[in-house]
Structure formats: structure tokens, C-alpha cells
Amino acid sequence: MEPAAKQKVIYITYLIAALDITWLFLQFSITPYLARRLGFDTIWFGYLQTTVGVIQLLGGPIYGRFADVFGARAALSVSCLASVVYFLLLAVADNTFMLFVHKLPAVFMHALPGAQMVVADLSENEKRADALGKLGLCFGIGMIAGSSLGGTLSTQKGSSNSVFNLGEITRLMKFPGVAKTFTVKIISGLPAGIFQVMFSIIAINFFQLKAEQNGYLMAYFGIVQMVIQGAVIGRLTSRFSESSLMLLSVGISSLVGLAQAMMTNVFHFCLIVIPMMFSLSVFNVITDSMLTKSVSPSDTGTMLGLCASVQSLLRTVGPTIGGFLYEAYGVPSFGYIQCIINAAVFSFLLTTGGRSQPNRP
């Protein structure tokens, strides 16, 4: 493709991602309050979140392999179709059973990884982190629109060609640097993932926020992330190495955890959001970029599917761990765990040193 044609496809992909994230965060804002109206307590809401995590954990690698075999266009089409079914089921979910059933199409709902596949395929190596960062800008826009609208609505009412191939996934882990980066992505992201899946409960019980106020807070998240993804990450990646930025993001995440452990009200949290979103945005973009550069172009879809499955894994174990920590030790426990784990990861990265970016095989 000509450079101009590639850029046009990337812009269209950005639009698709922004729309998909808008609808996704709309239901994120609605679901906790709908669950409460249907009689869910904290434990059952954790079960609901765990169900979603399990479903997407199973679907992430399959979706990534599907994209490698049939192409990103087909993968995005499947994801959009699954979203249609997902939201139709949500519209008729008037009991506990249907609230669980409507989560089933989430196994194919991976539009953001699909968009990342397109961007990764069409962008040059040296510009990939910046392009993925711009995709994060769309994430921020969708978060703002979806959270605000959701808060308002809540107030008012086998073979090499096979899709799932464990051998292919295992093969990717053997490329230089992949296992290390992937492990760091899981371990460092676990505490933040636990906090994220429990945030709806924290917002209601700890911060005492109403649905509309929670929507405004999520919109604030989106604004901060939009600025970071659109105006900060691109400049950083052009001046500093990816290994240095990963080290920086992990270090800041440790300090954010300490600050979270000491916060007492929503104003404190709003101040913490800025470094928190910075560390999360930089960490996710940089690790995704490093991992896709470590494999061949034909394997980027599977790799990004695995990256997406990390988030699903965190959402799978997060509610169970988070529910226990919340009931037994309170909100500060999330911050202390994040501080300790990321401090340990920071020391490990500092000791082992950053790896040079390998050429694609």
C-alpha cells in the first residue's frame, strides 16, 4: 500500500476503536448500578466480573490467531458483530441470569486488539509506539464519551492454519526477550488490574459516589489519558529507549501505589490519577510495542491477542483477590501491594538491564 492509503486505513481504524470504547465504557458505567438493582452484593458482583475475565481470557488468544489466519478486517467484523449481540442482551437483562448470559459474546469482543493489529501492521518500526499511543487517544475519547453517557443513563433509569494453536503461542514465547517482557507485563500489571476491577465498588462504598458523579470521574480519567496518549507518549518514545520508558513506568507505578494507600477521599484520588494514568499508558503501549517488534509480521495478531489476554487474566483473578483484600484489609491494601510488587519489578529490571530491541525474525 502507498503511505497515504496506509494512513487512511489507520485513521478509519482510530474511528472504529473510539466508537467501540465509547459503547464499552457506557456499559461499564451502567453495569454496577444495574447489578445492585437486581440484588447483587459485592461477592456476586465479583463473580460477574470473574465470568467476564474467564470468557475474554479464553477468547483473547483465539481472536489473535483468528486475525493472523483470516486477517484483521475479518477479526474486527467478528468483534463488532459480537458487540451488537452483547448490547442487545444487555438491553433485555432484567434478572440475574440474563445479566450473566449477556456477557457470553465478550469472548469475541476484542476490537481494540484488532485495531492494534492494523496499526502494528501498517506502521513502521520506529513509529509504532507513537502510532499505538495515538490509538490510546481514541481510547481516552471513548472513555470520556461512554462514561459520561453511562452515568447519565444510570441516573435516569490443531494445524498451522487452525485458529487456536497452542504450539504457535508457545513458539512466540521462545523469541528473544518475549518471555521476560510478557512476564513483567503480567506481574507489574496485576495490582493495577485488581484495583481497576474493584473500582466500581470502591467508587460506591469508599468514595460514596452516585452514578452521575462516577461518570464524571471516569470522564476525567479519559481526559487525562487522552492528553497523555496524544501529546506525551509520542514525544517520549522519540527521545528515550523503550526499555528506559518501561523502567520509568514501573517505578512511577510503585509510587502511585504508595499514594493510593495513603489517600482518604476522592480529591486525593483525582490528584493520583495523573501519574497513575501516565504509568499505565506508557507501560501498556511500550510493552505491546516491544512484544510485536520481537516477532514476525505474520505473528503480530497472535502476540497482540496474547497481550489482550493478560488483561482478561487480570480480570479473572482480580475480583476474587480484590474482594478478599477489600473485605479483610480495606482500600489501602491495594496501594501497598502495588507499591511492593512494582518496586520488586523495578529492582529486577534495573538489575538485569534493558534489552536491546531485536530485529524481527
Instruction: For the chain, give every domain's residue range.
Output: 3-155, 166-353
- Matching residue, cell 440484588: 39
Q: Is the pLDDT of residue 200 over 90?
A: no
Which pLDDT tens digit goes with each residue over 238-270? 888 888 899 999 999 999 999 999 998 888 988
Average pLDDT, the chain: 78
Same topology between domain 3-155 and domain 166-353: yes
Angle at 354 between CA 134 and CA 174, to 5 degrees: 85
Query: CA–CA distance from 332 to each of 4, 269, 287 (Å)?
Result: 50, 12, 27
d(CA 285, CA 263): 27
User: 157 falls in which pLDDT band (50, 70, 90)?
Assistant: low
Query: CA–CA distance from 243 to each of 19, 60, 260, 294 (Å)?
Result: 32, 26, 26, 13
d(CA 289, CA 40): 39
More confident residue, 64 or 336: 336
- Matching residue, cell 523495578: 346
CB atoms within 10 A of CB 94: 11
Instruction: Say yes or no: domain 3-155 is CATH 1.20.140.10.
Output: no
d(CA 293, CA 302): 13
- Matching residue, cell 491495594: 334
d(CA 211, CA 209): 7
Which pLDDT tens digit goes with each residue over 290-346? 887 887 777 776 676 677 666 666 666 676 787 788 878 888 999 999 999 999 999
Q: Say what the pLDDT of residue 168 is.
A: 65
d(CA 115, CA 19): 12
Q: Say what the pLDDT of residue 330 is.
A: 86
Task: Determine the residue type at 75.
Answer: A
Q: Which of 34-43, 76-85, 150-159, 351-360 has the highest mean pLDDT?
A: 76-85
Give this prediction's pTM. 0.58
State the fold for domain 166-353. Answer: Growth Hormone; Chain: A; (1.20.1250)
d(CA 300, CA 293): 8
